[in-house]
Amino acid sequence: MNEVATITNKMSNLTSSGGSQLNRIGKVKTLANDLEASFISEFLNHTLPKNSTSFFGGGSGEDQFSSFLNEAYAQEIVKSGGFGLSEKFEQQLSETLYDKE
């Protein structure tokens, strides 16, 4: 399942699941962090050098596995504060999903 489908699935689970307000806030925060990490991962995939033997050391598996490394970098970037997108995503998701109630 690709990242967009995974995030869409998580969003539909948020709207259908009940639970306490605190539980929902935690889920929205997690989803917002996932969205930011996905964005950062794609950003890294497009900005880091391709086929550079000096960057990853080369090899046949570099193309396949560099995206996993970028995903790990993205998660760590989000943990350390990210680009500030998750707060905006969280605000928008909360308004979209829960202000209708």
Q: What is the pLDDT of residues 70-100, one digit of tens each?
A: 899 999 999 999 999 999 988 888 888 776 5
SS3 96: helix
Q: Is residue 74 part of a domain?
A: yes
H, E, C per residue of 34-79? HHHHHHHHHHHHHHCCCCCCCCCCCCCCHHHHHHHHHHHHHHHHHH
Q: Which of 18-22, 60-64, 83-87 has the lowest mean pLDDT?
A: 18-22
Q: Is residue 35 part of a domain?
A: yes
Is the pTM higher than 0.85? The answer reads no
Q: Is residue 14 part of a domain?
A: no
Instruction: Give the chain's domain count.
Output: 1
65 or 85, greater pLDDT: 85
- pLDDT for 43: 94
Q: Which structural domain, as residue segments, surrounds residue 31? A: 3-8+19-98
Q: Is residue 44 part of a domain?
A: yes
48 or 81, greater pLDDT: 81
Q: Is residue 13 part of a domain?
A: no
